[in-house]
Amino acid sequence: MLETIRRIVQEVTAAENLEQALETIVTRVKQVIDCNVCSIYLGIQGGDYYLLMATRGLNPEAVGRARLERNEGLVGLVAQRAEPVNLEDAHSHPRYKFLPDIGEEAFHGFLGVPIIHHRKILGVLVVQQRENRRFDENEETLLVTLAAQLSGAIALAEASGSLRDIQGDNGERAIHGLPGAPGVSIGQAVIVYPAADLDAVPRRRCRNIDEEIRVFTKAVEAVREEVRQHREQLAHLPTEERALFDAYLMMLQSNSLIQKTIDRIKQGFMASTALRDTVQEQTQLFASMDDDYLAERVLDIRDLARRILVRIQSKTPGTRHYPPRTILVGDELTAADLMAVPRKQLAGVLSRQGSGSSHVAILARALGIPAVMGASELPGNDIEGLELVLDGYQGWVYLHAGQRILSEYRRLMREEAQLSANLQALCQKPAKTLDGCIVPLYINSGLLSDIGAAANSGADGIGLYRTEFPFMIRDRFPGEEEQCQIYRQILQAFAPRPVTLRTLDIGGDKTLPYFPIREDNPFLGWRGIRVSLDHPDIFATQIRAMLRANAGLNNLQILLPMISTLNEVDEALAIIERARKELASDGYGELPCPRTGVMIEVPSAVYQAAAIARRVDFLSIGTNDLTQYLLAVDRNNPNVAELYDSLHPAVIHAVYQTTRAAHRQNIPVSTCGEMAGDPLASLLLLGMGMDSLSMSVVALPRVKWVIRSFTRAQATALLDEVLRLEDPATIRALLGSELDRAGLGSLIRPGK
């Protein structure tokens, strides 16, 4: 049964549009359950009514017409209860509603199950039987399992706009993701897809058909040669075993795979798009045959196609053309993807995976680029080149936006530009509260290219330089000299202002292409200081580079990430000291001893903050990870993103407790997580007596405006009130109303 379910889900996922997906479901489910009818009703207008969208067994003419209101009929009952309804004789149930012309009167046995996606009832899947029949438990659980597995594919197909004609709207689609980086933007979608992933290939048209055909035929020829070689290498095997290679060679000449792809290229598509479409067509054809042998052939076709794709991709010139307002779209975008787009042309970032706390979102914020994350319902690859409207404040994306949306967002963009211009005026003013307290504001960075902008932003220094970013865009570990030059440029650009270089924090969602770490729970695994201490070679090289870069400047601070035990602090400090001594004996002279700090981003470090504080010169609170570990919510997982909230009382108390621990040991404490750049939260951090805050260049003037609009005494009183609250939403509302009252509402919503 598992295999049948898997196959049905595969077929539905491969469907080109919603109609085809629903047709596949009703046809296949009716076969598997062996009943007389299978139908799907989908909720329209947020579930106001349910419309028959596909059927096998009822009157096909009723599709798109027969409808039941939310509180009508058995379909309405299933949706209302959000659970299965299984009836031996539907006619005798008080909720049974007779619909003329649908042809239902002949059927008595009824089983309906809800189709639920992320708590939302998308519709109802129904099977019916002419005779009285109570569907047995196996049938019921099978239908429930199928509905659960199909809900994602249905949501995806729905989002691609296939409901458009039936609903009769103008095709405008709004998809909700998660706020990634603030700002609004209108631009053109450019899809970034992983190499050699056939399903991720976007629908792209080509400029030169002959060139595409040449690339494709060359790729096919190369794969054919590869298969021939494999066959020869295995010449000692029995003939049957080698038959597979003959089958492969036949497929590589077949009309169905090769000629059809060429035909598609001739219609103006790129070789990769044409190949993808041909393979999808073949997959559907074979999968619908319900024959295990043929189903296996699907795997062969896909395997061959993937090999051809690798060749096509390696022939495709590496430099891509990016439109002037590029919105980068991908499943899992990386820092390197963002950096490949010329800075002035990057207008937005849209990712199906991840959340506002993912590192790509953090990078987008640092660059001041609006981003929407976790937009899992974004349709496949056919949105390449489409104009998108992105709202990074609310996490909305609009496809096929109409004039109303476009003009509203153009107005917001103008107002945003105006707000930034106004905030620029604050640049050279100090971050001083109305009662005269100065809170130094630092920059979070990780790119060399934005150091110039950061140095002129009025920042008091760098509070967090994520050294892993330069590691991520290379193809091997950078050496001591190479690192030294990078660090030197940063230290020099800011001297005498302090620059906090964090030691390598790879693992989690920051992997290096040349040092893959594969783990089931990467955020709980080999990450940050754990990797550094296990690889003293890599760690010591980095420390030596930092110390050398600091020569004659003496504005370096070293920050240790992911500390969860005191031993790690002691070991890291010992390596730093040893590196300093070794450099002296290597002829670099007596280099200054940098101030060293620890990131408090793991719950154990909060409880041991005092002991850590006794060992180092400062603490820096990493609220991004602290929130994830305290609340047990993966910062990258869009399914639980709504639970990820740095204004959760537990996080606020932990940050406060850490601040007090540092102060009791007479060392300064800073916040360098995204909380510091959030205008709402910055008020609380001010109230806690945080010694400095570190944030993106874009957030800095916003937070400066907050600090300059309140007294510290007001912030402390507000903190006292917040510490008594139990619910993040109430805390958010209270802080929001404080900002509104002070005339700073534009900091938390789009527009002026």
Closest separation between CB of residue 71 and ligand PEP, Å? Answer: 48
622 binds Mg ion per the rule CB under 5 A: yes
601 binds Mg ion per the rule CB under 5 A: yes
C-beta closer to ligand PEP: residue 87 or 361: 361
Closest separation between CB of residue 488 and ligand PEP, Å? Answer: 22
Q: Give buried/exposed letters for 144-153 (b at 16+ CB in 10 A, else e).
A: bebbeebbbb
CB 658 within 8 A of CB 621: yes
CA distance 156 to 133: 34
Q: Which of 108, 117, 359, 648 is catalytic?
A: 359
Those residues whose C-beta lies under 8 Å from the C-beta of residue 156, and which sit 6 or more positions away, are 376, 377, 379, 380
C-beta closer to ligand PEP: residue 24 or 636: 636
Q: Which does 439 bind (CB under 5 to 8 A by kind): Mg ion, ligand PEP, none?
A: none
DSSP 138-149: HHHHHHHHHHHH
C-beta closer to ligand PEP: residue 579 or 655: 655
Closest separation between CB of residue 528 and ligand PEP, Å? Answer: 8
Q: How many CB atoms lie within 10 A of CB 480?
A: 15
**Phi, psi dihedrals of residue 498, rounded to the nearest 5°:** -70, 150
C-beta closer to Mg ion: residue 286 or 471: 471
C-beta closer to ligand PEP: residue 199 or 337: 337
3-state secondary structure of 448: coil
C-beta closer to ligand PEP: residue 365 or 704: 365
Closest separation between CB of residue 672 and ligand PEP, Å? Answer: 5
**Phi, psi dihedrals of residue 240, rounded to the nearest 5°:** -60, -40
3-state secondary structure of 59: coil
Question: Which residues in this chain contact ligand PEP in the complex, by CB under 6 A?
Answer: 362, 464, 466, 505, 601, 622-625, 672-673
* Residue 593 falls in the annotated catalytic set: no
C-beta closer to ligand PEP: residue 68 or 360: 360
Cis check: omega of the bond before 496, within 30 degrees of 0:
yes
Q: Nearest-CA neighbor of 619 among 611, 627, 630, 629? A: 611
Report the largest interatomic distance among the alpha carbons of the chain, rounded to a whole angstrom.
Answer: 95
Among 19, 625, 678, 738, binds Mg ion (CB under 5 A): 625
Q: Which does 672 bind (CB under 5 to 8 A by kind): ligand PEP, Mg ion, none?
A: ligand PEP
CA distance 360 to 431: 28
C-beta closer to ligand PEP: residue 33 or 652: 652
Q: Which does 466 bind (CB under 5 to 8 A by kind): Mg ion, ligand PEP, none?
A: ligand PEP
Q: Which of the ranges 96-104, 461-469, 594-602, 734-742 carries the binding residues for Mg ion, by CB under 5 A?
A: 594-602
CA distance 682 to 685: 5
Q: Which of 38, 206, 484, 672 is catalytic?
A: 672
Q: Which of the ranges 89-97, 207-215, 274-282, 621-629 carries the binding residues for Mg ion, by CB under 5 A?
A: 621-629
3-state secondary structure of 121: strand
Closest separation between CB of residue 671 and ligand PEP, Å? Answer: 8
For residue 675, give both structure tokens: 């909380």
For residue 69, give both structure tokens: 């209101």
C-beta closer to ligand PEP: residue 66 or 504: 504
158 binds Mg ion per the rule CB under 5 A: no
Q: Which of the ranges 63-71, 616-624, 690-698, 730-738 carries the binding residues for Mg ion, by CB under 5 A?
A: 616-624
Closest separation between CB of residue 502 and ligand PEP, Å? Answer: 8
Q: Which of the ranges 265-273, 463-471, 552-560, 593-601 carries the binding residues for Mg ion, by CB under 5 A?
A: 593-601
Q: Which does 595 bind (CB under 5 to 8 A by kind): ligand PEP, Mg ion, none?
A: none
The label of the residue with tokens 């800073």 reads: 670
Q: Which of the ranges 243-251, 300-308, 624-632, 681-689 carries the binding residues for Mg ion, by CB under 5 A?
A: 624-632
Closest separation between CB of residue 562 and ligand PEP, Å? Answer: 8
List for the chain the helix, strand, coil content (%; round to 5).
Answer: 50, 15, 35
Q: Which does 308 bind (CB under 5 to 8 A by kind): Mg ion, ligand PEP, none?
A: none
Query: Which residue's CB atom is positioned nearest to Mg ion?
Result: 625
For residue 31, give both structure tokens: 């076969």
For residue 253, give both structure tokens: 């000449």
Packing angle of the helix pair 699-709, 403-424 (nearest 10 deg): 60
C-beta closer to Mg ion: residue 276 or 510: 510
E strands, 5-72, are 37-44, 49-56, 67-69
Task: Name the residue type at position 294.
Answer: L
The 8-class DSSP code of residue 251 comes to H
Look at strands 346-351 and 173-176 and give their pairing: unpaired
Closest separation between CB of residue 464 and ligand PEP, Å? Answer: 6
Closest separation between CB of residue 621 and Mg ion, Å? Answer: 10
Phi-psi label, residue 507: left if phi above 0, alpha if psi -120 to 50, beta otherwise: left
Closest separation between CB of residue 472 and ligand PEP, Å? Answer: 12
* Residue 359 falls in the annotated catalytic set: yes
Burial class (CB in 10 A: 0-12, 13-18, 19+), 406: middle
Q: Which does 673 bind (CB under 5 to 8 A by kind): Mg ion, ligand PEP, none?
A: ligand PEP
Query: CA-CA distances (angstroms) from residue 283 to 149, 381, 382, 556?
Result: 19, 18, 19, 58
User: Residues touching Mg ion: how many (CB under 5 A)?
Assistant: 3
Q: Which does 355 bind (CB under 5 to 8 A by kind): ligand PEP, Mg ion, none?
A: none
Radius of gyration of the chain (CA): 30
Q: Which does 377 bind (CB under 5 to 8 A by kind): ligand PEP, Mg ion, none?
A: none
- Give catalytic residue positions: 359, 672
Positions touching Mg ion (CB under 5 A) are 601, 622, 625
